[in-house]
Structure 1
Amino acid sequence: MNKIKSISAFLLLFSAVIFTSCSVEPYTGSIPSSGDNGGNESANDYWPSAINNQWVFSLNGVNQAPLKMVSIDAIGGNSYFTFNPQSNGGVSQVTRLRKLNGDYYIKSEDIIVAAQAGVPGSTSTGTERILLKDYLPVGGSWTSDYVQTTTYTDPTYPVVTTNFNIVATILEKGSTLTVGSQTFNDVIKVRVVQNITFSGQISSAISYYWYAKNVGSIKIETTSGTTTYTQDLVSYILN
């Protein structure tokens, strides 16, 4: 059971809101331009979206594989910009982004973990949640509650249910932040508090996200237990 718990805690770094699985098909309709998804949304754009847009981050000082927008897909009547698949430590995942009325949604498909160290492989249900509401004032917040289930390839392992409560709050707007050698203006800082309930026990993780106008995410800091992960933007390409 301790091994199951450790995997569940590890997955919180990759998880979001539960999402019912559905087919993915090429999107053939028109795509709104960045920052203009119809309606009365903010005219700002804190995550520019176009095929081949690319961001490279370092994780605790080590450069990671590029995060690149590789396709546009229609899912459940919504259009998403899909990133290239990401793999890390036996975990693989596909994520997608959509924007509507100043809301930025991140959709994560099922999380697949390879078998390792005597623990069987597993699949955790995909999720979707709002990462940013760029029109909210400082102090504005939003909440997400959802359940994620994890099923193991070894049927003797029970299905694991994990409950998430996420509270995000705008801490700063219009600020300036230097990341490495780059200085970014018009930055929004968001605090995200995740409370995770597993087998009656509650654990927490706190993340801070910085988004720069017309650039995207530039820095993320996540603390889970006594461990802190820092992701800094190293370079980016926008089309």
Structure 2
Amino acid sequence: MKKIVLAILFVSLMLASCSSDDSGESNGVSTGNYWPMAVNNTWVFDDNGTSSELKITGTDVFNGTTYYKLYDASDSTFGVENWVTKKGATYFQKVADATINQDGIVISMEGYEVPMFKDDLQPNATWSGTVSPKVTYNVNGQTASLTAKVKYTGTMLEKAPTVTLNGETYTDVLKIKLKIEVTIANQLTVADQEYWFAKDVGPIREYQSTNGETSERTIIDYILN
């Protein structure tokens, strides 16, 4: 799901990577399964009139924890691998190390992990943290590095009893806002993102606004294993 962090890092000037999290927060105790994670689980979205698929394609283990690898049809520009996992009540996204060659500029970034949301929070509760980016790039044979800062602030907007999207009604829906602020070379990029997750179904709506550009997609079908 690119709209969590990945796309923000690319549009910020170059890239940012997140290698540590100083939030110091507990993962909490889960109140339910708001993102079922199993290989071949698939969610199909209406993305501005076209069909867009999000699918779990496999698993990998990092530091003893199983992560579920995602394929997102709307996020294929850079081909960077990413995974999700759940620890307690907290759902995390992890992005792999990557090297991108864009217009002759080779940019390398370390992988990162951020908490997407926490299912045990009450409306208006928040979580936040800062990740320390490590970015290097090569232009015409010359290598340089950038200092960057990625700050995230999440808010539990609502716990809705029911939500109807594209003619289907979903029960027990978490509505989450995630604000990402990326500072690279004194340039600030801010992204406001909103996600809806239905209990025992998973993601059903995504919305993002970055630098005046918006995108949205809503669920039309899903397959769970």
Q: TM-score range by the shorter chain?
A: 0.7 to 0.9
TM-score, normalised with respect to structure 2:
0.81
Letter in 2 for 1:177: V
Counterparts of 1:25-174 in structure 2, within 5 Å, are 41-64=29-52, 66-84=53-71, 88=75, 90-115=77-102, 118-154=103-139, 155-156=141-142, 158-174=144-160
Letter paired with 2:42: Q
The separation in 2 between residues aligned to 1:128 and 1:95, in whole angstroms, is 9
Map residues 169-180 of structure 1 onto 2, 5 A cutoff: 169-180=155-166
Residues 36, 224 of structure 2: 8 Å contact kept: yes
Structure 2 CA distance for aligned equivalents of residues 152 and 215 of structure 1: 40
The answer to whether the Cα contact below 8 Å between 2:10 and 2:16 also exists between their aligned partners in 1 is no
Q: Distance in 1 between matches of 2:17 and 2:51?
A: 24
What SS does the corresponding residue of 1:158 show, helix, strand or coil? strand
> Partners of 1:74 and 1:103 in 2: how far apart?
17
After alignment, is 68-77 or 88-97 more displaced?
Answer: 88-97
What's the offset of the Cα at 1:44? 0.5
RMSD: 2.9
What is the alpha-carbon distance in structure 2 between the residues aligned to residue 78 and residue 59 of structure 1?
32
Instruction: Show structure 1 runs of 5+ residues with no match.
Output: 1-5, 21-38
Q: TM-score, normalised by structure 1?
A: 0.77
Q: Percent same amino acid at aligned positions?
A: 27
Cα separation, 1, equivalents of 2:16 and 2:217: 17
Number of the residue aligned with 1:24: none
Could you report, residue by residue, the CA deviation over 1:106-160 in whole angstroms, capped at 9, with x for unpaired residues? Answer: 1111244343xx3424232211011111011111111020122333354425323
2-side partners of 1:121 and 1:235: how far apart?
A: 38
Does structure 2 retain, via aligned residues, the 8 Å contact 1:192–1:208? yes
Indicate how the Cα distance of structure 1 residues 173 and 207 shifts in structure 2: closer, same or farther if over 3 A, else same. same
Counterpart residue type for residue 19 of structure 2: I
Cα distance in 2 for partners of 1:7, 1:187 equals 26
Instruction: Output one character per residue of 1:51-79: Cα deviation in whole Å (capped at 9) or x when no partner.
Output: 21112234333323x32222222111211
Which secondary structure does the structure 1 equivalent of 2:11 belong to? helix
SS in 2 for 1:93: coil
Matched AA of 2:208? T
On the 8 A contact 2:20/2:131 being kept in 1, the answer is: no
Distance 1:86 1:147, change over 3 A: farther
Deviation of 1:85 after TM superposition, in Å, equals 7.2
Deviates more, 1:171-180 or 1:130-139: 171-180
Q: Which has the higher contact order (CA 8 A, sep 6+)?
A: 2
C-alpha deviation, 1:19, in angstroms: 5.8
Q: Is the Cα–Cα contact under 8 Å of residues 18 and 134 in structure 2 kept in the other structure?
A: no
- In the alignment, the residues of structure 1 paired with residue 90 and residue 105 of structure 2 have an alpha-carbon distance, to the nearest angstrom, of 37
- Is the 1:19–1:126 Cα contact (8 Å) retained in structure 2? no
Q: Distance in 2 between matches of 1:122 and 1:184?
A: 42
Structure with greater strand share of residues: 2
Q: Select between 206-215 and 85-94 the one with higher mean Cα deviation.
A: 85-94
Unpaired runs of at least 5, structure 2: 1-6, 22-26
